[in-house]
């Protein structure tokens, strides 16, 4: 059963999707992507510009997203994967196209990863890592064979823009061994937020944009009486997406805001309920819900911006 009133829920959703999501993007997402890409990313436009380059896009996928749910090993193995990429490119970004066109890009990257792990006297974890590394390299190589570009990130983004759907591309991403539902949803969530695509996507696909972790599982029952501790992840994702939509709040930004609490502001699940209560009360005392940038792109009257006739429902 929900632990907050409807007004408190609305206030919480808006604060999380507003200022907390903004802080997540500028304090966590952009800096970590910048480290993975090894370039400066001062704002969202710089991030979009960098991701339009297939080399930087591949570094982001390999160094930021691929190992996102590996816990304590995440930073180490993502670093090894990026070192492996540097090895096969001989430290030169200009060699990326030749790498994709080589005919054995997956094997090259995996062999380099094995070498880096051995140099650092760390376990290779072939069962967990091989399919992931070869899968990403294979994805980029297949794209390169089709368009001589090979940009994984932009392939995903353009598929969403052209169809208004995320389910097909979600299935394509999670078909890569080692990229499960949480990482697939994480990639799509950040992409949709970065390009402000949410109002252009079929609402029936919104649950694919809600990665569900321990924090989302804990916050769900506090905000909705349709969620409890036994509710399946995909149902939680759908219920929270619907709750955000009903309150005219961006679901992807709400999810990013929760992640900000998890890794920066709170980092303690036992403090979550009390923190959310104080967040709601302070917002309501101030006489607002903290809307603004928390809301999906909207047309006059506060309604979601209408889709072009080309979007499939």
Looking at residue 293, its pLDDT comes to: 60
Looking at residue 1, its pLDDT comes to: 55
Strand partners, 298: 304
Helix (H, G, I), strand (E, B) or coil at 254: helix
Looking at residue 306, its pLDDT comes to: 30
Strand partners, 304: 298
Which residues of the chain have a pLDDT value below 50?
A: 291-292, 298-313
Per DSSP, 304 falls in state B
64 close to 33: Cβ distance less than 8 angstroms: yes
Angular region, 210: left φ>0, alpha ψ -120 to 50, beta rest: beta
Q: How far apart are CA 128 and CA 79, in angstroms?
A: 16
In the block, which residue shows the tokens 């079929």?
Answer: 202
Looking at residue 150, its pLDDT comes to: 98
185 close to 178: Cβ distance less than 8 angstroms: no
Residue range 50-78, pLDDT digits in tens: 999 999 999 999 999 999 988 889 999 99
Looking at residue 290, its pLDDT comes to: 54
153 close to 191: Cβ distance less than 8 angstroms: yes
Q: What are the residue ranges spanned by the domains of the chain?
A: 6-23+191-295, 35-181
| Backbone φ, ψ for residue 159 (5° rounding) | -65, -40
Looking at residue 283, its pLDDT comes to: 95
Q: How far apart are CA 213 and CA 109, in angstroms?
A: 30
Q: Where are the beta strands (DSSP E) in the chain?
A: none
């Amino acid at each position: 059963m929900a632990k907050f009133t409807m007004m408190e829920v609305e206030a919480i959703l808006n604060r999380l999707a507003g200022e907390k999501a903004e802080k997540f993007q500028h304090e966590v997402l952009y800096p970590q992507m910048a480290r993975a890409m090894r370039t400066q990313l001062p704002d969202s436009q710089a991030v979009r510009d960098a991701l339009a380059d297939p080399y930087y896009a591949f570094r982001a996928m390999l160094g930021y997203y691929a190992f996102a749910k590996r816990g304590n090993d995440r930073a180490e193995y993502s670093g090894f994967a990026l070192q492996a990429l540097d090895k096969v490119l001989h430290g030169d970004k200009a060699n990326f196209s030749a790498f994709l066109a080589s005919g054995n890009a997956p094997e090259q990257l995996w062999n380099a990863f094995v070498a880096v792990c051995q140099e650092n006297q760390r376990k290779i974890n072939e069962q967990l890592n091989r399919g992931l590394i070869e899968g990403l390299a294979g994805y980029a190589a297949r794209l390169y064979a089709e368009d001589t570009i090979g940009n994984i990130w932009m392939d995903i983004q353009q598929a969403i823009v052209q169809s208004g759907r995320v389910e097909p591309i979600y299935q394509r991403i999670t078909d890569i061994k080692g990229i499960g539902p949480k990482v697939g949803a994480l990639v799509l969530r950040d992409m949709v937020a970065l390009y402000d695509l949410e109002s252009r996507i079929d609402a029936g696909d919104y649950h694919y944009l809600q990665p569900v972790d321990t924090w989302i599982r804990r916050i769900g029952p506090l905000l909705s009486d349709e969620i409890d501790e036994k509710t399946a992840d995909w149902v939680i994702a759908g219920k929270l997406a619907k709750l955000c939509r009903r309150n005219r709040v961006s679901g992807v930004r709400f999810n990013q805001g929760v992640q900000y609490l998890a890794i920066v502001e709170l980092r303690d699940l036992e403090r979550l309920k009390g923190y959310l209560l104080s967040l709601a009360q302070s917002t309501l005392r101030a006489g607002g819900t903290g809307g603004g940038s928390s809301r999906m792109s909207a047309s006059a009257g506060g309604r979601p911006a209408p889709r072009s006739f080309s979007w499939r429902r």
